[in-house]
Amino acid sequence: EAGVTQSPTHLIKTRGQQATLRCSPISGHTSVYWYQQALGLGLQFLLWYDEGEERNRGNFPPRFSGRQFPNYSSELNVNALELEDSALYLCASSLGGGELFFGEGSRLTVL
């Protein structure tokens, strides 16, 4: 059974550009979570989607947004990129509030 898949693996952008990251959850999982992990730091909660709806968001500015599609895949959009947005972006899925399973992450570098 396939795990959580994320794309792209690496992404390089310049300040002011937009980045789009994608995530496919484990089959049957309806919840998708996004976390940001800056170098050497902990996981910061970004967004939670369930059944196509945004259920909760962390303490991030509105330029961080996303959506969940009918097949439960999700995308994270980051507008007006800033240097401090450089981080590993992790997607995780779960079923009914159980264990979180993470994808391999997308490493975003903003120059």
Partner 1 sequence: QKEVEQNSGPLSVPEGAIASLNCTYSDRGSQSFFWYRQYSGKSPELIMFIYSNGDKEDGRFTAQLNKASQYVSLLIRDSQPSDSATYLCAVRDTSGTYKYIFGTGTRLKVLA
The contact set with partner 1 (CB under 8 A) reads 31, 33, 35, 41-43, 45, 48, 50, 55-56, 58, 88, 90, 94, 97-105
Please state, in angstroms and rounded to a whole number, the distance separating the CA atoms of residues 110 and 76. Answer: 16
Cβ distance to partner 1 smaller for residue 47 or 110: 47
Cβ distance to partner 1 smaller for residue 79 or 100: 100
Please state, in angstroms and rounded to a whole number, the distance separating the CA atoms of residues 98 and 52. Answer: 18
Map tokens 């991030």 to a residue. 60
Cβ distance to partner 1 smaller for residue 45 or 60: 45
Cβ distance to partner 1 smaller for residue 80 or 95: 95
Please state, in angstroms and rounded to a whole number, the distance separating the CA atoms of residues 78 and 99. Answer: 27
State in angstroms the smallest separation of the CB of 15 from partner 1.
Answer: 24
State in angstroms the smallest separation of the CB of 34 from partner 1.
Answer: 12
Is 12 within 8 Å of 111 (Cβ atoms)?
A: yes
Is 38 within 8 Å of 29 (Cβ atoms)?
A: no
State in angstroms the smallest separation of the CB of 95 from partner 1.
Answer: 11
